[in-house]
Amino acid sequence: MNFENLSSDELDQHVMERLVFEEEELSPILKGHLFIEKVLETLISRNLVEPKAFFRSTRSYDLKVDLAFAMGLLDNKYYSAFKAINKVRNNYAHKHDYKVTLEELNAFKFDWEEIQNKAFAVACGKSIGEGASIATMFLCWKAIHLLDKQED
């Protein structure tokens, strides 16, 4: 959409449609992304001698995923899924008319139980937003398991 060619009324209509009537999938993805980032920070902090020295500066989500992987705190499945949610988040942040796809949500999935696959299929049948909520929730649950493993 080219904003230069739109009137104020058209822009007003567009913002109302985008902020009030659409983007039901954006909220769970952003919240899940933030949750996973906090899990990554906790994992990394638990394994650094001086975590405050590392986190003194702002570090990107992408760097945190790479560092956790390099430290052996994430396996390839977690690494790929955490990168996938970051890609979706970045697409929303930088592409005005972006819409997440089912294929992208499938990249959040790994080692799901059959009941999770069924719940995801039902949710996606309702809307992409429902599918995003379920896929993101299940990915956050996987992230929680990383913290549980660390405590053992």
The mean pLDDT of 128-141, rounded to a whole number, is 95
- Could you tell me the two tokens for 129? 């937003």
> Does residue 120 contact residue 114 with C-beta atoms inside 8 Å?
no
Residue 131 lies in a domain: yes
Q: How confident is the model at residue 119 (pLDDT cuts 50, 70, 90)?
A: very high
Question: Does residue 19 surpass a pLDDT of 70?
Answer: no
Q: Which of residues 25 and 36 earns the better pLDDT score?
A: 36
Question: Does residue 14 surpass a pLDDT of 70?
Answer: no
Residue 13 lies in a domain: yes
pTM (two decimals): 0.85
Residue 28 lies in a domain: yes
Q: Tell me how far CA of residue 96 lies from CA of 6, 14, 26, in angstroms.
A: 15, 11, 13
Task: Give me the number of domains the chain comprises.
Answer: 1
Residue 22 lies in a domain: yes
pLDDT of residue 20: 57
Residue 2 lies in a domain: no
Q: Tell me how far CA of residue 1 lies from CA of 14, 22, 52, 88, 111, in angstroms.
A: 10, 16, 43, 20, 39
> Does residue 130 contact residue 29 with C-beta atoms inside 8 Å?
no
What CATH number did the domain enclosing 88 receive? Answer: 1.20.120
Residue 1 lies in a domain: no
Query: Positive or negative CA dihedral for 136, 102, 117, 22?
Result: positive
Q: How confident is the model at residue 26 (pLDDT cuts 50, 70, 90)?
A: confident
Residue 126 lies in a domain: yes
Residue 12 lies in a domain: yes
Q: Give the domain range for residue 49.
A: 7-151
Task: Express each pLDDT in 58-79 by its tens digit.
Answer: 999 999 999 999 999 999 999 9
Helix pair 76-94, 61-70: axis angle to 10 deg: 170
The mean pLDDT of 133-147, rounded to a whole number, is 95
Apex CA 35: angle with CA 14 and CA 39, to 5°?
A: 155
